Every structure is written in C-alpha cells, then in structure tokens.
Structure 1
Amino acid sequence: MISELKDNYGYLFEDALLMEINSVGTFKEVPEGYQLMNIGDYIKSMPLLVSGAVKIMREDDNGDELLLYFIEKGDTCAMTLSCCMGQKKSEIRAVAETPTKLIMITVEKMSEWMGKYKSWQNFILQSYHDRMTELLEAIDTIAFLKMDERLFKYLKDKAMVNHDDIINVTHQNIAFDLHTSRVVISRLLKNLENEGKITLHRNSIRILQI
C-alpha cells in the first residue's frame, strides 16, 4: 500500500504522514456500482482514493437522485469529513463509478492530523474548496444550462473520469443521474448524434467531441 500512497499522495504529504496512513488506514477495493455510503449513514471514516472514481449523489423527498460531482484518485470527499467530525448522518450517497481502490481513515486520526501535519490541514482545506467549486458548478449547470447542454457536459465528465471516450451506460441510468425521464434522454442523445457530437451503440456511447 505504501507504494500506491507515494504515487498518489507523495507530492502532498511528508514521509512521516504517509507512513502513518499506511499503518492505520484500511485498504478497500470495490467494484463498479458498489455503494460506499448511503444517505442517513453515520460515517466513521473518510476515503482517500488510490485509483478509480466515485460519484456523489443527492436525493429528493421522492427518492429521485441527482449527480453532484465525481471524486478521483488523489482526492477525498469533504462532505464525508463534515459528517465524520460533526457526527452527523450523511446527506449524500457515494457510489463507485469505476472499479476503485481506496484507503479509509478513521475520524480520530483525521482530527489528530489536522494539528500534527500542516500538509494534511492544507489537503483538507483544499478538498473543501474543490468540492465547493464543484457544487457551485453543479448549481450553475442546473440553473443556467439547457437539458441538452447538461447532458453533453455529463457525458464528457464521465468520459474524463473513466479515461475512455466510450461510456458504458444505459439511457435510464443517465436519466436517474440527471433527474429526468428516459424518454427525454433518448431524444436528446439522438439529437447529439445528429449533431456529430456522439455515436450511439447498444448500452454504450462514444464521445466524439471532448
């Protein structure tokens, strides 16, 4: 685990902190679609992503989901930290977008390292900043972009986190993520294909303009 830690976090953390993470962290490897956190859960630890990507979702009163943002290797989720430190129930759902490797850090160590390591403090504060920026971007997307623009941005974001211009996803799953209907998504995807931005295949989409 120490080699993967150094590859992904060596430029951020000093050797002493890396060794502590290696000593006390719990390594997990999860498949695509694995639910790491659910709404209403009490969170006891925070993830450091070693590889893969995780999507963060919100849910309305009717149980419909909305994609907020992705976290990738070298990242953590500041909203997880907020739940941990405040001993509050989670207000988000975290699902592995791809096969993912991560290291779980307990709340006790997170708090201890805030005072012990300046690099850890900077990392957590930067994570808050990054996630807030992404939340504002998500709000802007919903408020100011038309659904076809939201859809194309969503497709490009998924392509980037998967590091592949081919996305294996159904029209229904896209509709769930964007909080709309499958019929609307199917129609807009066909429009994007006619515009030369994507190519549609059975349960997959190739992005032509990234």
Structure 2
Amino acid sequence: MLEALEANYGYLFEEELLQEINSVGTCKDIPEGYKLIEIGDYIRSMPLLVSGAIKILREDENGDELILYFIERGDTCAMTLSCCLGQSKSEIRAVAETDTKLIMIPVQKMEEWLGKYKSWQKFILQSYHDRMSELLNAIDTIAFLKMDERLFIYLKDKAMVNHNDVIHVTHQEISQDLHTSRVVISRLLKKLAINGKIELQRNNIKVIDL
C-alpha cells in the first residue's frame, strides 16, 4: 500500500504522514457500480482514491437522483469529510463509476492530522475548494444550460474519468443521473449524433468532440 500512496500522494504528503496512512489505512478494491456510501449512513472513515472514479449523487423526495460531480485518483470527497468531522449522516450517495481502489482513513486520524501535518491541512482545504467549485459548476449547469448542453457535458465528464472516449452507458442510466426522462435523453442523443458531437454505437456512445 505504501508504494501506491507514494505514487499518488507522495508529492503532497511528507514521509511521516505517508507512513501513518500506511499503518492505519485500509485498502479496498471496489467493483464498478458498487454503492460505497448511502444517504442516511454515518460515515466512519474517509476515502483516498488510488485509482478509478466515483460519482456523487443527490436524491430528491421522490427517490430521483441527480449527479453532482465525479472524484478521481488523488481526490477525496468534501461531503464525506464534513459528515465525518461533524459526525452527521450522509446527504449524498457515492457509487463506483469504474473499478476503484481506495484507502480508507479512520475519522479519528483525520482530525488528529489536521493539527499535526500542514500538508494534510492543505490537502483537506484544497479538497473542499475543489468540490465546492464542482458543486457551483453543477448548479450553473442545471440553472443556465439547456438539457442538450448538460447531456454533452455529462458524456464528456464520463469519458474523461473513464479515460476512454467510448463509454458504456444506457439511456436509462443517463436519464437517472440527469434527472430527466429516457425519451428526452434518446431524442437528445440523436441530435448530438447528427451534429457530429457523438457517435451512437451498439450499447456504447463514442464522444467525438472532446
């Protein structure tokens, strides 16, 4: 695990902190589609992403989901941090977008390291800043962009976190993530294909205009 830590976080954390993470962290391999965090859960540990990607979603009172952002290698999730430190229930759902490797850090160590290591404090503050920027972008997208523009941004984001311009996703999955109907998504995908932004393949979508 130490080798993975050094590869992903060595430029951020001093050697002593890397050794502590290696000592107390728990390494987990998470398959694509696995639900890591559910709404209403108490969160006892914080994930550091070694590889893969996780999508963060909110749910309305009817049970419909809306994707907020993705977190990738070298990231963590600000909402996880706030729930851990505040000992409150999770208000988000976290699902593995791809096969993912995580190092889980106990909440007690998170608090201890904030006062002990400047690099950890800087990492946590930067993580809050990055996730807040992504939340603002998500709000702007919902408030100011038309659905076809939102859809194309969503497809580009999925292609980037999967490191592949060909993505495997159903129209139903897209409609759930974007909180709209499958019929609307199917119509807009055809429009994007006609405009040369994507190519619709059998069970796949190729993003052309990255």
Q: TM-score, with normalisation over the residues of structure 1?
A: 0.99
Task: Please list, as runs of the form range in 1=range in 2, the aligned pairs for 1:1-210 lying within 5 A after superposition.
Answer: 1-210=1-210
Separation in structure 2 between the aligned mates of residue 195 and residue 134 of structure 1, nearest angstrom: 27
Alpha-carbon distance, 1:202 to partner: 2.1
Separation in structure 2 between the aligned mates of residue 134 and residue 43 of structure 1, nearest angstrom: 22
Instruction: In structure 2, list runs of 5 or more residues that go unmatched.
Output: none
Q: What code does the residue aligned with 1:204 have?
A: N
Separation in structure 2 between the aligned mates of residue 80 and residue 20 of structure 1, nearest angstrom: 20
Alpha-carbon distance, 1:35 to partner: 0.4
Separation in structure 2 between the aligned mates of residue 69 and residue 181 of structure 1, nearest angstrom: 20
- 1:14-51 per-position Cα deviation (integer Å, ceiling 9, x unaligned): 00000000000000001000000000000000000000
Separation in structure 2 between the aligned mates of residue 41 and residue 202 of structure 1, nearest angstrom: 37
3-state SS, counterpart of residue 69 of structure 2:
strand
- 1:38-87 per-position Cα deviation (integer Å, ceiling 9, x unaligned): 00000000000000000000000000000000000000001101001111
Separation in structure 1 between the aligned mates of residue 64 and residue 78 of structure 2, nearest angstrom: 23
Separation in structure 1 between the aligned mates of residue 27 and residue 78 of structure 2, nearest angstrom: 19
- 1:188-210 per-position Cα deviation (integer Å, ceiling 9, x unaligned): 00000000111101221001110
List structure 1 runs of 4+ shifted beyond 6 angstroms: none
Separation in structure 1 between the aligned mates of residue 207 and residue 131 of structure 2, nearest angstrom: 26
Separation in structure 1 between the aligned mates of residue 65 and residue 203 of structure 2, nearest angstrom: 20
Separation in structure 1 between the aligned mates of residue 150 and residue 101 of structure 2, nearest angstrom: 29
- The CA RMSD measured in Å over matched residues stands at 0.4
Alpha-carbon distance, 1:159 to partner: 0.3
Separation in structure 1 between the aligned mates of residue 122 and residue 9 of structure 2, nearest angstrom: 13
Count residues with an aligned counterpart.
210
Separation in structure 1 between the aligned mates of residue 163 and residue 198 of structure 2, nearest angstrom: 16
Q: What code does the residue aligned with 1:136 have?
A: L
Q: TM-score, with normalisation over the residues of structure 2?
A: 0.99
3-state SS, counterpart of residue 12 of structure 2:
coil
